[in-house]
């Protein structure tokens, strides 16, 4: 008599995760946003973008005339700016693609009263945002 293994447990073990290669190899879900930024706004010219799931990658396009800074920690931490832990996008269509896993990014414009803007296109994995660790340390906020 042949014994049939119970496969129901085996198929339930696979799931999306931070260190699961398949989570990044499959086509990601698109996610788009954008906004205007004024460097002298009450939020000090900084916008925080929170992604609904962990990113596979994202691209920021500067649609305004003022330079924008992209960083992974808030400027409220003085070391972000003092340590040069940001990428500057020049005005008028500068863009940068980040091939990183994250759940949050900050976009800022410094002290100008001119309006600048951006568009952001992200590729989202199937990994829930609460599974991502907090980005911190050298090159981020210290």
Q: What is the pLDDT of residues 47-74, one digit of tens each?
A: 999 999 999 999 999 998 888 999 999 9
Select 28-131's CATH number: 1.10.1660.10, 2.60.120.380, 2.130.10.10, 3.30.1300.10. Answer: 2.60.120.380
pLDDT mean over 33-44: 73
Mean pLDDT (the chain) is 86
Cα distance between residue 126 and residue 24, in whole Å = 9
Model-wide pTM > 0.85: no
Place of tokens 């700016």: 81
């Amino acid at each position: 008599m042949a014994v049939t293994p119970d496969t129901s447990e085996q198929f339930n073990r696979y799931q999306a995760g931070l260190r699961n290669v398949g989570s990044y190899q499959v086509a990601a879900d698109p996610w788009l946003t954008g906004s205007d930024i004024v460097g002298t706004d009450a939020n000090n010219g900084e916008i925080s973008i929170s992604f609904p799931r962990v990113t596979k990658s994202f691209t920021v396009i500067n649609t305004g005339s003022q330079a924008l800074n992209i960083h992974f920690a808030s400027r409220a931490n003085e070391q972000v700016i003092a340590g040069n832990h940001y990428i500057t996008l020049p005005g008028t269509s500068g863009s940068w693609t980040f091939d990183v896993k994250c759940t949050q990014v900050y976009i800022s414009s410094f002290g100008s009263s001119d309006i600048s803007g951006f568009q952001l296109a992200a590729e989202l994995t199937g990994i829930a945002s609460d599974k991502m660790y907090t980005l911190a340390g050298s090159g981020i906020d210290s």
